[in-house]
Amino acid sequence: MTDFFMSSDQLHRIQRQLELGEHQLVEGGLARPVRREAIRQFIAAMQALLFPHCTAQNGGSSITAIQGPLSTLAELIHQVTVHACDDPNCPERERAQAKAVQFVQMLPDVQSEALTDVEATYEGDPAARDRAEIVSTYPGFYATLVYRLAHRLHLLAVPLLPRMMTEMAHSETGIDIHPGARIGAFFFIDHGTGVVIGETTEIGDRVTLYQGVTLGALNFPHDGQGRIIRGTKRHPTIEHDVVIYSEATILGGETVIGHDSVIGGNVWLTEGVPPFSKVTTKSTIALRTRQEPVS
């Protein structure tokens, strides 16, 4: 067998091409890489801090249990922030620590919101034996909890990390919630697989979604050069006390689902409905003879 080899010139040329290709992806510099496992461990630490008796990492909410994730978060924020300073006393490190402190101060609010989600799930699912089971096992609750943590980091203008967190939850649960979405209290995702909630979605209190629901964008506005205009309201608004059944699709930034409405399964909506609406697809029921084959 002939050994496979490449000349030094060939290797340097390929290396240079790869470097040039990667630099097309970034603007203003490169952040330090973050391992997915580090994100997973941080999420697990947050779960253990918020619900110590419902997780494998039963560390409680002691000062030590808080200080560990605080230091981890400061380092993660420092890593994902684009900067050119490698000095241990880098000003960006101090700013990262300040944002980590702000985040930890928000944790009681995150826990309070998450407890309303537990209550909504317990009241909405007769299969739930107790509230601890929901925290420990329900994918809808897990995805929502990760979103609530990531949303706080999003509000603090932390780059990349919030999206990495929700995408990790997405890969584990099949539930895709953008950290920029705004979701009220008592939120319940039943089953959950295939749920998509876009960046500019607004959801009120006491809203229930079933599996396969999409709250997405209808179209994307473009500027004179054909480039997508970012930062516009592209996803729907769901007001308080709405139930949306499985596989319903609701699209568009101007689409508002009025409060106390019910959206049936497989409904496709690109315009709003008033409060107290009930929207369903029309079903046809026909009786067949015993001799008629099943098709």
pLDDT confidence tier of residue 32, bands split at 50, 70 and 90: low
pLDDT of residue 26: 62
Q: List where CATH 2.160.10.10 sits in the chain.
A: 194-289+291-295
CATH architecture of the domain 194-289+291-295 equals 3 Solenoid (2.160)
Q: What is the mean pLDDT of the chain?
A: 89
- Which range, of 141-155, 220-234, 264-278, averages the lowest pLDDT? 220-234
Render pLDDT for 110-142 as a digit per residue (tens, 0 to 9).
999 999 999 999 999 999 999 999 999 999 999
Query: What tokens does 151 get?
Result: 């949303």
Residue 25: pLDDT band (50, 70, 90) is: low
| Residue 185 · residue 240 · CB < 8 Å | no
Task: Average the pLDDT over each of 73-82, 214-223, 241-250, 285-294 and give the range with the smallest value.
Answer: 285-294
Cβ-based neighbours of 8, under 8 Å, separated by 6 or more? none
Average pLDDT over residues 90-115: 94
Question: In the structure, what pLDDT confidence band is assigned to residue 28 with cuts at 50, 70 and 90?
Answer: low
DSSP single-letter state for residue 125: -
The first and second tokens of residue 97, run together, are 């620590």
Q: Which percentage of the chain shows pLDDT scores above 70?
A: 88
Q: Could you give the residue range(s) of every CATH 1.10.3130.10 domain in the chain?
A: 31-173
For residue 205, name the pLDDT band (cuts at 50, 70, 90).
Answer: very high
Complete DSSP assignment for 172-204 = HHS-EE-TT-EE-SS-EEES-TT-EE-TT-EE-
**Contact predicate 109/86, CB 8 Å:** no
Residue-by-residue DSSP string for 244-261: E-TT-EEE-TT-EE-TT-
* pLDDT over 90, % of the chain: 67
In this predicted model, what pLDDT tens digit does every residue of 40-89 receive, in sequence order?
999 999 999 999 888 766 555 667 778 889 999 999 999 898 876 766 67
How far is Cα of residue 220 from the mean position of the Cα atoms in its chain? 21
**Element (H or E) spanning 139, and its range?**
helix 139-155
Q: Check residue 46 and give its pLDDT.
A: 94
Higher pLDDT, 129 or 28: 129
For the 31-173 domain, the top CATH level (class) is mainly alpha
Check residue 244 and give its pLDDT: 98
pLDDT at position 63: 76
pLDDT of residue 31: 60
For the residues 236-264, what does the mean pLDDT come to?
A: 97
- 282 DSSP 8-state letter: P
Cβ atoms 178, 198 nearer than 8 A: yes
How do residues 260-289 score in pLDDT, each as one tens digit? 999 999 999 999 999 999 999 987 677 767
